[in-house]
Structure 1
Amino acid sequence: MAVERMDHVGVIVEDLQAARAFFEELGLRAVGEATVDEAWAGRVTGLPGQRVELVMLQTPDGHSQLEVSRFLTPVDEAGPEAAPSNRLGIRHLAFVVSDLRGTLERLARLGFEPVGTVEDYRGIYLLCYVRGPEGIIVELAEQTGDPTGMLG
């Protein structure tokens, strides 16, 4: 049995509205909101008694979704850690944007700055990492050339 498709990526945040504003500024759009507190959800996550607020955001092409959630209970006492880009585990989300520099300007107005610098990858992409809400690293890429064989 093979994977049919990737459905979504889930991100947990403390400030749901700030995270939503960040991702909407990137061009994602909300396609649903919910509060989930049914017993089945706690059994799935291993967190009995959980209560979660979430928003589903979809990319403009309609192919990918991002689930941004805030746990009302139980609360993560450790809080977010702004880990470096090489920390083991899931480290970043990547989005293709049409205007990298314009996107960075809009995000800067919201208080989000690049992790490093904007760089040209082999004449194919302009790339940049931005530290988004709660330390989430977001890679932004503006396609400037033909990506065929870029990893070869």
Structure 2
Amino acid sequence: MTVRMNNVGIVVEDLTATVEFFRALGLELEGRMMVEGEWAGRVTGLGDQQVEIAMMVTPDGHSRLELSRFIEPAVVADHRRAPVNALGYLRVMFELDDLDAALARIEPYGAELVSTEVVQFEDVYRLCYVRGPEGILVGLAEALR
């Protein structure tokens, strides 16, 4: 049996700002469109819905991030500032070639380190969590080998 992850989805309020943040991180905008109607609601269980989505893809084409802005129905919960030990969706993590350069690129888009430093795990990774637009939690890792 073959299993492959297609994408991770994040619901946001400001789709344009979030797209620009992930572009600065190094992802590419694959497409942006409206998804609406009763058929879409049958998938999500939300009934008739209207959602604007932007699909981001990593440069290697293997990983995707679906950013969604719900117009109808209204958003009912907000977990963006949940602490790292909260149940449910936590974060998405990206491995980068140059963590310091990535941090410099995303800082103008509001990225802030969750801790006060980038931490090294043995001789394997340099790691950190940042809060991006709207408090979205993003993990960043740089392999040291």
What TM-score bracket applies, with the shorter chain setting the length? over 0.9
Structure 1 residue runs without a partner (length 5+) = 146-152
Deviation for aligned residue 1:38 = 2.2
What is the CA–CA distance in structure 1 between the aligned matches of 2:80 and 2:67, rounded to whole Å?
Answer: 17
Deviation for aligned residue 1:110 = 1.6
Deviation for aligned residue 1:125 = 0.9
User: What is the CA deviation profile of residues 48-67 of structure 1, one whole-angstrom value per residue up to 9, with x for unaligned ones?
Assistant: 12100001110011111111
Q: Tell me if the contact between 2:120 and 2:126 (Cα under 8 Å) persists in the aligned partners.
A: yes
Partner of 1:122: 122
TM-score, normalising length from structure 1? 0.89
Structure 2 residue runs without a partner (length 5+) = none
Q: Tell me if the contact between 2:11 and 2:70 (Cα under 8 Å) persists in the aligned partners.
A: yes
Deviation for aligned residue 1:97 = 1.1
Deviates more, 1:74-83 or 1:95-104: 74-83
Q: Which has the higher strand share?
A: 2
Q: Tell me if the contact between 1:55 and 1:69 (Cα under 8 Å) persists in the aligned partners.
A: yes
What is the CA–CA distance in structure 2 between the aligned matches of 1:92 and 1:18, rounded to whole Å?
Answer: 18
Letter aligned with residue 128 of structure 1: C
SS of 1:7 mapped into structure 2: coil
TM-score, normalising length from structure 2? 0.93
What is the CA–CA distance in structure 2 between the aligned matches of 1:59 and 1:106, rounded to whole Å?
Answer: 16
CA, structure 1 residues 31+81, in 2 after alignment: closer, same or farther (shift >3 Å)?
closer
Identity %: 49
What is the CA–CA distance in structure 2 between the aligned matches of 1:55 and 1:81, rounded to whole Å?
Answer: 18
Moved over 4 A (4+): none
